[in-house]
Amino acid sequence: MAVLELRDVHLTYRTAQGPVPAVRGVDLSVDGGEVLGLAGESGCGKSSLVASVLRLQPRSATVTGQVLVGGENVQTMSWRRLRAVRWGEAAVVFQGALHSLNPIQRIGRQLVEPILLHDSAATPRTAADKVAGLLAQVGLPETHADSYPHQLSGGQKQRVMIALALTCDPQVLIADEPTTALDVMVQAQVLELLVGIARQRGMGVVIISHDLSVLATTCHRVAVMYAGRVVELGPAQELFEHARHPYVRALARAFPTIGEARSRYAPAGLPGDPPFPDRLPSGCPFHPRCADAVDECSSVDVRLRPAGPGRVAACVHVGAGVG
């Protein structure tokens, strides 16, 4: 059963320069126990999508479509229900763990807080025990509960954030680039750890990463976003080995060297920059950078279409014999 389901989700920021459509119609679903990877260049709308799952988008943003956590629409539920769903049913390891902790509170207090909030049976004692267990699970000594955030390294903070996301045993766990501050070896370990715990507890997990090789090895399925939309979705291994969308092919080619930081942001062999969401090209937003573009691409805004078993891709060539 899907624990998280997005149906035609749009998110638009209102700015002084006009509307910025950061997410433009995303459909995704994640089952309990499943790990879904989400990739895409910087600015394609991944974090905006995450914000909509807990209705944490800024007041300047409008969300349409349905965001269903455990079948309930997060965007329209009462505030009271929303507060229970937040962290109780869906939790997030936020991008930028460095600033996601309160700088003047001890780690332990910040970890205990959601437990006491959501579990009416919890006492400060049992909550502290649970926190100690979680810290051990993410590979931190229990004594770190007494530390302040500035006393931890970037990687340690990211582990604290993972422990924090696990405090209330949510059905849905979203990790927005949970390993960017870590070196490559530890990155793989932390992701394995996260996925291991989540799978063992039957959570649905979404992992956002620029590192396709990491996604390929840890996720069941992967979705790749471009300019606010999913452009290809399929089983992880297959997707990268036989990408159908030219953008995904270019991304996959860019990863001969696992974890080379620079290649995350500028995939080799992909000319030009990603478009700004408020200045999208006509037709397929990828066509100005696409090696396989044909005339049709600049006028037809192609949507996802079947591209093999369990796969979809948004490209005019898909289903037309190419790819």
Partner 1 sequence: MALTSPVDARTGTVSSGGATTPGGIGRFIGYRLVSGLGTLVFVLLFNFFLFRLLPGDPAARYRAVKNIGAADLARIRAELDAPVLTQFWAYLRDPLALNGISAWKGQPVWDLVGGRAWPTVVLLGSSTLISVLIGVRVGIRAGWKRGGRFDKASTAVTLLFYATPEFWLGLMLILLLSSGVGPFPALFPSGGVIDSGIDPLSIDGAVSVAEHTVLPATALAAVYIAEYSLIMRASIIDEQSQDYLTTARAKGLMDHVVRRRHAVPNASLPTITLIFLNIGFIIGGAITVETVFSYPGLGLLTFEAVSEQDFVLMQALFLVFTLSVIVFNIIADVVIALLDPRIRG
Ligand X SMILES: Nc1ncnc2c1ncn2[C@@H]1O[C@H](COP(=O)(O)OP(=O)(O)OP(=O)(O)O)[C@@H](O)[C@H]1O
- State the binding partner of 146 from ligand X, Mg ion, partner 1, none, CB within 5 to 8 A by kind: partner 1
The Cα–Cα gap between 161 and 101 comes to 8
For residues 151 and 282, which CB has a smaller minimum distance to partner 1 in the complex?
Answer: 151
The Cα–Cα gap between 280 and 45 comes to 13
The CA-based angle 196-255-189, given to 5 degrees, is 25
- Stated as kind and residue range, the H or E segment containing 322 is none
Decide: is 95 part of the binding site for Mg ion (CB under 5 A): yes
Rg of the chain in Å (alpha carbons): 20
For residues 29 and 137, which CB has a smaller minimum distance to partner 1 in the complex?
Answer: 137
- State the binding partner of 92 from partner 1, Mg ion, ligand X, none, CB within 5 to 8 A by kind: partner 1
Residue 62: what are its φ and ψ, rounded to 5°?
Answer: -110, 130
Decide: is 156 part of the binding site for partner 1 (CB under 8 A): yes
- State the binding partner of 247 from Mg ion, ligand X, partner 1, none, CB within 5 to 8 A by kind: none
The CA-based angle 301-302-303, given to 5 degrees, is 120
Name residues contacting ligand X, limited to 12-71 (CB under 6 A).
Answer: 13, 15, 20, 22, 40, 42-48, 58, 60
For residues 47 and 263, which CB has a smaller minimum distance to Mg ion in the complex?
Answer: 47
Binding mask 191-230 for partner 1 (x = CB under 8 A): -xx--xx---------------------------------
Query: Of 286, 177, 285, 304, which Cα lies nearest the Cα of 234?
Result: 304
User: Which spans in the chain are helix H?
Assistant: 46-53, 79-85, 107-118, 124-137, 154-166, 184-200, 212-218, 236-241, 246-253, 261-265
Considering only 21-29, 89-97, 271-279, 284-292, which stretch makes contact with Mg ion by CB under 5 A? Answer: 89-97
Decide: is 47 part of the binding site for Mg ion (CB under 5 A): yes
Name residues contacting partner 1, limited to 33-92 (CB under 8 A).
Answer: 54, 56, 82-88, 91-92
**Which residue in the set 2, 117, 181, 280 belongs to the binding site for partner 1 (CB under 8 A)?**
117
Compute the least distance from the CB of residue 61 to partner 1, in Å.
13
Residue 318: both structure tokens together? 């898909």
Decide: is 213 part of the binding site for Mg ion (CB under 5 A): no
Binding mask 159-198 for partner 1 (x = CB under 8 A): x----x---------------------x--xx-xx--xx-
SS3 203: coil
- State the binding partner of 193 from Mg ion, partner 1, ligand X, none, CB within 5 to 8 A by kind: partner 1
β-pairing, 61-69 vs 172-176, is: unpaired
Residue 208: what are its φ and ψ, rounded to 5°?
Answer: -100, 130
Burial of residue 19 (CB within 10 Å: 0-12, 13-18, 19+) is middle
Compute the least distance from the CB of residue 10 to partner 1, in Å.
21
Q: Which residues would be at the binding site for partner 1 (CB under 8 A)? A: 54, 56, 82-88, 91-92, 94, 96, 99-106, 113-114, 117-118, 136-141, 143-144, 146-148, 150-153, 156, 159, 164, 186, 189-190, 192-193, 196-197
